[in-house]
Amino acid sequence: MNWDDYTEITTPADGDTFLNHDISETVVGQKMKKITWANIKAALKTYFDTLYLALVAPGTSGNILTSNGTAWESTAPSVGDTTIRLRGLVSNPQAVYAQRAQIPLIRADAALTITRIHIHCSDTSPSTELAGDLKFADDINVGGFANATVIDVCDTTNGVVTITSGFDDATVPSGKYIYFQMDASPHADIKDFYIEVFYTYD
């Protein structure tokens, strides 16, 4: 067989057939086998779906990512399936406050329940406490934040606050924006603060 005798295909179609000698097993007479491009794609999708699931939610099962044929899209886990953690760092919060007091975090793509809030400041001196609330509202427009609702007060003690129960309102309706509201300009000694929010889908 001389491969130079064949025309190269750069974009295979589903019906194109590929020949291979003894793909998976020894065959009497060493016959050629064939497989279509459609079947190759199906096998690859099955394989890569397991990889994307492992990357997004290690150790969990269920439909975390689905393919719509052109792109990967996120889908909500089943009720009680998993707890999701949102985390980030706010650098130079005094300068951030000068722009506006609200720090948008996420938009609830479905009804969810906050289960834990944790904030840790870079400076833990009692004289430099961070005062603020975790809230949700209809929008995050400057001058907006319509129908703002307090999830819980998040004032730090020695630069740290952790809340796991007793929330003012932990149930966030679908479509609402969750944000952290600084009540006053943070002390200049607070160079940054870490924030994480845990939630489950209802």
pLDDT over 60 (residue 25): no
What is the reported pLDDT for 41?
82
Rounded Cα gap, residues 165 and 163, in angstroms: 6
- pLDDT band at residue 83 using 50, 70 and 90 as cut-offs: confident
DSSP per-residue string spanning 92-127: SHHHHHHH-SEEEEEE-SS-EEEEEEEEEES---GG
Each residue's pLDDT tens digit, 91-130 = 999 999 999 999 999 999 999 999 999 999 998 888 889 9
- pLDDT band at residue 71 using 50, 70 and 90 as cut-offs: very low
What is the reported pLDDT for 73?
42
pLDDT over 50 (residue 34): yes
DSSP per-residue string spanning the chain: --GGGS---SS--TT-EEEEESSSS--TT--EEEEEHHHHHHHHHHHHHHHHHHHHSTT--S-SEEE-SSSEEE-PPPTTS--EEEEEEEESHHHHHHH-SEEEEEE-SS-EEEEEEEEEES---GGG---EEEEEES---TT--TT-EEEEE---BTTEEEE-S--S--EE-TTPEEEEEESSPPPTT--EEEEEEEEEE-
Rounded Cα gap, residues 23 and 20, in angstroms: 6
What CATH architecture applies to the domain 84-201?
Sandwich (2.60)
What is the reported pLDDT for 142?
84
| Segments making up each domain of the chain, as ranges | 17-74, 84-201
15-31 mean pLDDT: 59
Each residue's pLDDT tens digit, 152-197 = 999 999 999 999 999 999 999 999 999 999 999 999 999 999 999 9
Each residue's pLDDT tens digit, 134-152 = 999 999 998 889 999 999 9
What is the reported pLDDT for 61?
42
